[in-house]
Amino acid sequence: MNIVQLEYLKEIYVCGSFSVAAERLGVTQPALSMQIQKLEEELEFKLIDRTKRPFQFTDEGKVFYEKSLEILKQIEALKQISVNISEEVRGNLKVGIIPTLAPYLVPLFIQQLAKDYPALQLEIYELKTEDIISEIKMGDIDCGVVSTPVSAINISVMPLFYERFYAYLSEDHALFKQDSIDINSIQQEDIWYLEEGNCFQNQVNSICQINAQKKNKQQLVYHSNSIESLRRIVEYKNGLTFIPELATINIPAEQEELIKEIVPDKPVREISLITAKRFAKERQVNALKEVIKSSIPARMLKQPDRGIMDTLL
């Protein structure tokens, strides 16, 4: 048994295909199959049932695969020893960030990170919360920046900052002339939504006490992960949507009057850095955490007394 075989097994599990796994690994499919066969011969049980279409991992194979992930994570930790011994924060850090946050957060800290840690390479992936958690557990990314709380086993959560929700509405909307918007005065059919399963949408539904049955009565539901798309629809098609606080920073001055405070509870989402309970790149993750917190407006670092929305995840 060797590390290469474990890495091959992981790629097969992730891809669900020998041919795709072989292509991603840069090896031939026969070579990949041979290594898995050798591993099965040594273990004296089948990892994969090839008689089924598509193939399936056997029960024994699933147990072995879960244990092999733990070993691969430890191997990565061993590789990190030389990096951690050095005083310089360097290496590669793969980070998943939810789509309703990434376009606004990354520009705030990326230049400072490059200045403070020039030897640290950052790879950023826009992913939904459940995908970030899954890829952290798989070891495919090192950490994530998500809205919390989340329900996930073996995941550590480090709160970073607290971001308020604001209403964003058309100049033609009946509530436009008000300085703030009472959430109880909003007609649910006026609201433009993000894609189903998005934690931001879940929080909006919670704020407005919206259920799927009422929402399905709308003439049009726009499926998107982009807050910017919803802003454009509101500007040109009337109605309203909700935007996070960081999304308000770069809104042109002539459109700032479209942003309205929500009352009475001033809802807030908690943004946190999440990792596996045991992870290798502690110094790199801590560097990222400190740079993000130093780049955020100070008012957003303090936890509010109430109003933190549940992600329902």
Tell me the pLDDT band of 48, cut-offs 50, 70 and 90: very high
* pLDDT higher than 90, residue 277: no
Q: Among the CATH numbers 3.40.50.620, 3.40.190.10, 3.20.20.60, 2.40.30.10, which is that of 86-161+269-300? A: 3.40.190.10
Residue given tokens 């807050």 in the structure block: 227
* pLDDT higher than 70, residue 216: no
Residues forming CATH 3.40.190.10 domain(s) in the chain? 86-161+269-300, 163-268
Average pLDDT, the chain: 87
Spatial separation of the C-alpha atoms in residues 303 and 284, rounded to whole Å: 25
End-to-end CA distance of the chain: 38
Q: Tell me the mean pLDDT in the region 212-217.
A: 48
* pLDDT higher than 90, residue 110: yes
> Do 293 and 301 meet the contact criterion of CB atoms below 8 Å apart?
yes
Spatial separation of the C-alpha atoms in residues 8 and 138, rounded to whole Å: 14
Least confident of 8-12, 191-195, 277-281: 191-195
Tell me, what's the pLDDT at 287? 94
Strand, coil or helix: 150: coil
* pLDDT higher than 60, residue 219: no
The CATH number of 163-268 is: 3.40.190.10
In terms of Cα–Cα distance, which of 147, 191, 149 is closest to 167?
191
* pLDDT higher than 60, residue 256: yes
* pLDDT higher than 60, residue 147: yes
Residues forming CATH 1.10.10.10 domain(s) in the chain? 3-82
The set of residues, in sequence order, having a beta carbon less than 8 Å from that of 268 and lying 6+ positions away, is 162, 163, 164, 165, 304, 307, 308, 309
The set of residues, in sequence order, having a beta carbon less than 8 Å from that of 269 and lying 6+ positions away, is 147, 162, 163, 165, 200, 203, 244, 308, 309, 311
The CATH number of 3-82 is: 1.10.10.10
